[in-house]
């Protein structure tokens, strides 16, 4: 067996960590993101040909866990977290067009995969009797709900969700506030990037950490990023068994966690073809891939709100993976899709094909529509990141009818919801956490 991977910070100023340490910490001490010292390579033959998603995940992630305290538990962690399917569903509109549906989990978005896996890891890393850990999560909508659901009523863990007030859909806001018990929601008077900055500031605040141990469950956490690789590996292998060409992907992208997982899977040697990022009007990544300097900026609000990110965190990991900008630009292409086009795409696909997509999935569907119109006949999967029922206020007026609500979402929407307001200032979160710690002790 190969030697254990070591985990380093993208900023290069933190001591090496084990996987368990990296998962427990969330962010590296120097403010960077944890990455493995190299990406292992895997042979397709290593995978069981009719394995479940959880089995594919256990094989794929084994080299990342080798030598770690969690290694022996990896298959159980995968089985515990990956309890719902991520089907690759063929669409009748073109013989080689499919959707990779990632929204069959408890909160109806792909974030359930990472959140549940992270929760399963943290339960084991922390053991029993430790000081309660507060998990901070900045969310543009879906992450907070997934993390809340994954940790709800888990002993020894408090979850604090920060979301930009008025910038998530009404149903998302309801989901975020509906947990209660050990899960609290703060509605921040600012943007997602403010929420993310406040979380990072708190995590980097040693004095605060001494009062109240903190971790993060954002897509910066390796415990979320790694499991997201599973569904890409699973779909790629499934496709490749029956077809001669590899599957290409269009990934709706915001903070770049989901797409980075696909890039890593391909870099490990699994059969994936091209990867295209579909962004909304937040054009930081499209501009970079078009040849401009990387220029993070303030996020603007769009219909695909879970992708309203102007400074995608995982760009640091992408740059670590491909340090030379020119090489990096060969790996991916990225495109912006404006709100009008998102609306038109949702309406068009409902009208012509009877398919209803959420606004995020619609950005990716539009990118593929354009490829098809330009004569591209390769196999493509559009990654469907959320169920359209989460965004009914956008989707229903466009398609002229209501969208059925998946049962798990319906249950959450029936519970009452509460969220406290908070100013978009690092100090406000600090004070709030100190007060919470004082009350608890």
Check residue 177 for interaction with ligand PLP (CB under 6 A): no
Q: Rounded to the nearest whole angstrom, what is the least distance from the CB of residue 313 to ligand PLP in the complex?
A: 8
Q: In whole angstroms, what is the distance from residue 390 CA to residue 394 CA?
A: 9
CB 116 within 8 A of CB 150: yes
How would DSSP label each residue in 311-332?
Answer: S-TTHHHHHHHS-SHHHHHHHE
Check residue 350 for interaction with ligand PLP (CB under 6 A): no
Check residue 99 for interaction with ligand PLP (CB under 6 A): no
Check residue 379 for interaction with ligand PLP (CB under 6 A): no
Please report where in the chains the tokens 């501009």 appear, as a residue. 287
How would DSSP label each residue in 346-370?
Answer: HHHHHHHH-----HHHHHHHHHHHH
Check residue 307 for interaction with ligand PLP (CB under 6 A): yes
Based on CB atoms, which residue is closest to ligand PLP, 96 or 111? 111
Give the gyration radius of the chain's Cα atoms: 20
Stretches 22-30, 76-84, 152-160, 252-260: which one binds ligand PLP (CB under 6 A)? 252-260
Distance of CA 257 to the CA centre of its chain: 5
The H-or-E segment that residue 23 falls in is helix 19-25
Candidate list 142, 158, 193, 194; residue touching ligand PLP; CB under 6 A: 142
Based on CB atoms, which residue is closest to ligand PLP, 279 or 399? 279
User: How many beta carbons lie within 10 A of that of residue 428, not counting itself?
Assistant: 16
Question: Hey, what are 272's tokens?
Answer: 């994936």
Q: Rounded to the nearest whole angstrom, what is the least distance from the CB of residue 334 to ligand PLP in the complex?
A: 11
Between the CA of residue 338 and those of 303, 315, 380, what are the distances in Å?
9, 22, 22
Site string for ligand PLP, 309-348 (x = CB under 6 A): ----------------------------------------
Check residue 286 for interaction with ligand PLP (CB under 6 A): no
Site string for ligand PLP, 352-371 (x = CB under 6 A): --------x-----------
Check residue 386 for interaction with ligand PLP (CB under 6 A): yes
Question: Hey, what are 275's tokens?
Answer: 């990867």
Candidate list 10, 14, 248, 253; residue touching ligand PLP; CB under 6 A: 253
Candidate list 134, 332, 385, 388; residue touching ligand PLP; CB under 6 A: 385
Check residue 144 for interaction with ligand PLP (CB under 6 A): no
Based on CB atoms, which residue is closest to ligand PLP, 47 or 289? 289
Based on CB atoms, which residue is closest to ligand PLP, 70 or 256? 256
Q: How many residues bind ligand PLP (CB under 6 A)?
A: 17
Alpha carbon distance, N-terminus to C-terminus of the chain: 46
Mind spelling out the 3-state secondary structure of 114-150? HHHHHHHHHHHHHCCCCCCEEEEEECCCHHHHHHHHH
Check residue 257 for interaction with ligand PLP (CB under 6 A): yes
Q: H helices within 152-191, ranges in order?
A: 170-177
Check residue 254 for interaction with ligand PLP (CB under 6 A): yes
Check residue 164 for interaction with ligand PLP (CB under 6 A): no
Q: In the β-sheet with 332-336, what is the strand arrangement from edge to edge?
A: 88-90, 97-101, 380-384, 247-252, 272-279, 332-336
Based on CB atoms, which residue is closest to ligand PLP, 133 or 350? 350
Residues binding ligand PLP (CB under 6 A):
109, 111, 142, 219, 252-259, 306-307, 360, 385-386
């Amino acid at each position: 067996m190969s030697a254990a991977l070591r985990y380093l910070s993208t900023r290069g100023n933190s001591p090496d960590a084990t996987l368990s340490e990296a998962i427990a910490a969330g962010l590296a001490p120097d403010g960077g993101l944890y990455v493995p010292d190299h990406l292992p390579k895997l042979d397709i033959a290593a995978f069981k040909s009719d394995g479940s998603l959880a089995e594919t995940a256990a094989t794929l992630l084994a080299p990342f866990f080798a030598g770690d305290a969690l290694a022996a538990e990896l298959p159980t962690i995968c089985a515990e977290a990956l309890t719902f399917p991520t089907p690759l569903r063929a669409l009748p509109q073109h013989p080689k067009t499919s959707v990779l549906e990632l929204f069959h989990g408890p909160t109806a978005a792909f974030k359930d995969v990472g959140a549940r896996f992270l929760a399963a890891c943290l339960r084991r890393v922390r053991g029993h009797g430790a000081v309660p850990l507060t998990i901070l999560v900045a969310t543009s909508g879906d992450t907070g709900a997934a993390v809340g659901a994954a940790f709800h009523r888990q002993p020894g863990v408090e979850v604090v969700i920060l979301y930009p007030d008025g910038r998530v859909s009404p149903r998302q806001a309801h989901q975020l506030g509906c947990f209660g018990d050990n899960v609290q929601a703060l509605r921040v008077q600012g943007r997602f990037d403010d929420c993310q900055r406040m979380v990072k500031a708190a995590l980097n605040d040693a004095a605060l950490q001494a009062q109240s141990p903190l971790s993060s469950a954002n897509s910066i956490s390796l415990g979320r990023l790694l499991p997201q690789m599973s569904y890409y590996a699973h779909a790629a292998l499934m496709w490749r068994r029956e077809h001669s060409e590899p599957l290409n992907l269009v990934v709706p992208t915001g903070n770049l966690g989901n797409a980075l997982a696909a890039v890593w899977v391909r870099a490990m040697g699994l059969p994936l073809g091209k990867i295209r990022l579909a962004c909304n009007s937040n054009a930081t990544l499209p501009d970079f891939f078009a040849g401009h300097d990387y220029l993070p900026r303030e996020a603007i609000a769009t219909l695909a709100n879970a992708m309203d990110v102007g400074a995608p965190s995982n760009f640091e990991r992408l740059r670590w993976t491909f340090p030379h900008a020119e090489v990096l630009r060969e790996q991916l292409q990225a495109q912006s899709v404006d709100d009008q086009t998102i609306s038109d795409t949702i309406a068009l696909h409902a009208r012509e094909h009877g398919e209803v997509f959420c606004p995020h999935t619609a950005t990716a569907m539009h990118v593929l529509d354009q490829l098809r119109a330009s004569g591209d006949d390769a196999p493509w999967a559009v990654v469907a990141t959320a169920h359209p029922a989460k965004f009914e206020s956008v989707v229903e007026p466009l398609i002229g009818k209501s969208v059925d609500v998946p049962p798990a979402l319906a249950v959450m929407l029936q519970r009452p919801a509460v969220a406290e307001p908070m100013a978009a200032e690092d100090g406000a979160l600090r004070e709030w956490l100190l007060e919470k710690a004082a009350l608890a002790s």
